[in-house]
């Protein structure tokens, strides 16, 4: 299907034989639908009218309910998780983990929360359901029953990144603000795991995640750089909050460090963060550095 609809990625997402068409307004939507249908005809393919919906503000796609500015787990999926009984064997544990794991991007600290259940699935571990497993089971189930919502990026709004880290975990929260009320704060993606990776739904965006270790290796801070080619070309700024106490100390002690007013744990623009990352790389301070050129077509899998 990707080959059939190649070149239409600006308004089309595909997965096997499922097609999602999205547009900013109704005229553009009609144009996108026409292009898709013409392409299907060109390849002698047909779309089943019974399985199609058009011009909707809300659709279900691959287990997710897609809204105009956000998306959440589909009700049918959360209902199945809600009605899932406490597992009585390893097979049922694996089934439950598969169900909730599909929506792990909506559950902060998923890996740690699911660890008591994951432990039961490991080789040579005997199945024993205790209060610890029951608590993890309930926490994972309830996290999805609260209708968690993730939003789409709005490139006309400022982006904010909140980070925190220690020797075990790294936490990254990317959001945009449309106003000052709580409902105007929209989370784009969240990440918390032991793996130093970061992906996002941001189109044409580079997200850089790195860690700065102390000399003793007992402390760790996070350096985040998130830029879009468009924002840099237009000279606009992105906002960042970062857990970088060690970096703050390093910069304050270094005579050739990057000059940053105030604490590092404050709003900074992309150019400043770029300079900080470059300075750290020159001195081999950054470890586990990853560059992820993400695309809106790729699934959010943190």
pLDDT by residue for the chain (302 residues), tens digit each? Answer: 888 888 888 888 888 888 999 888 899 999 999 999 999 999 999 888 888 988 888 888 888 888 887 788 888 888 999 999 999 999 999 999 999 988 887 887 788 888 999 999 988 888 999 999 999 999 999 888 877 677 776 767 766 666 555 444 555 666 676 666 666 666 766 655 443 333 333 334 444 444 444 433 444 444 444 444 344 344 444 444 444 554 555 555 554 444 444 444 333 444 555 555 555 556 554 444 333 333 222 222 22
The b/e string for 157-185 (b: 16+ C-beta within 10 A; e otherwise) is eebbbebebeeeebbbbbbbeeeeeeeee
CATH 3.30.70.270 domain range(s) in the chain: 73-145
Question: The domain 73-145: what is its CATH number?
Answer: 3.30.70.270
Res 162: pLDDT: 63
For residues 195 and 221, the answer to whether their CB atoms sit within 8 Å is no
Report the pLDDT value the prediction gives residue 1, as an integer from 0 to 100.
82
**Whole-number pLDDT of residue 194:** 42
Residue 249 class from Cβ within 10 Å (0-12 exposed, 13-18 middle, 19+ buried)?
A: middle
Instruction: Output DSSP code: residue 68.
Output: S
- Rounded Cα distance between 61 and 79, Å, is 16
For the chain, how big is the Rg over CA atoms in Å?
22
Tell the burial category of 125 from Cβ atoms under 10 Å away from its Cβ (0-12, 13-18, 19+): exposed
In the DSSP assignment, the letter for residue 258 is P
Question: Is 109:153 a contact under the CB 8 Å cutoff?
Answer: no
Q: What is the pLDDT of residue 136?
A: 93
What pLDDT is attached to residue 259?
45
β-pairing, 12-15 vs 220-228, is unpaired
Q: How far apart are alpha carbons 76 and 66 in whole angstroms?
A: 14
What is d(CA 183, CA 106) in angstroms, rounded to the nearest whole number? 17
């Amino acid at each position: 299907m990707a080959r059939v609809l190649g070149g239409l990625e600006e308004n089309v997402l595909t997965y096997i034989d499922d097609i999602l068409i999205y547009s900013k307004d109704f005229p553009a939507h009609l144009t996108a639908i026409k292009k898709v249908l013409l392409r299907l005809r060109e390849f002698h393919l047909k779309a089943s009218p019974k399985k199609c919906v058009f011009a909707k503000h809300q659709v279900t796609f691959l287990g997710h309910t897609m809204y105009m500015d956000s998306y959440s787990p589909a009700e049918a999926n959360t209902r199945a998780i809600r009605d899932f009984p406490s597992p009585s064997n390893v097979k049922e544990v694996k089934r439950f983990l598969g169900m909730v794991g599909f929506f792990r991007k909506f559950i902060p600290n998923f890996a740690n929360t699911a660890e008591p259940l994951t432990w039961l699935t490991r080789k040579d571990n005997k199945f024993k359901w205790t209060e610890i497993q029951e608590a993890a089971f309930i926490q994972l189930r309830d996290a999805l029953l609260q209708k968690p919502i993730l939003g789409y990026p709005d490139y006309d709004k400022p982006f904010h990144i909140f980070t925190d880290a220690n020797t075990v975990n790294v936490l990254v929260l990317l959001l945009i603000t449309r106003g000052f009320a709580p409902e105007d704060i929209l989370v784009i993606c969240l990440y918390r795991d032991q793996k130093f990776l970061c992906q996002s739904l941001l189109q044409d965006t580079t997200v850089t995640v790195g860690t700065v270790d102390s000399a003793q290796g007992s402390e760790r801070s996070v350096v985040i750089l998130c830029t879009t080619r468009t924002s840099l070309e237009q000279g606009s700024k992105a906002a960042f909050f970062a857990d970088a106490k060690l970096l703050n100390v390093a910069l304050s002690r270094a005579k050739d460090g990057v000059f940053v007013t105030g604490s590092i744990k404050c709003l900074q623009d992309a150019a400043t963060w770029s300079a900080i990352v470059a300075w750290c790389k020159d001195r081999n301070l950054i470890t586990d550095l990853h560059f992820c050129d993400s695309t809106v077509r790729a699934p959010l899998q943190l």
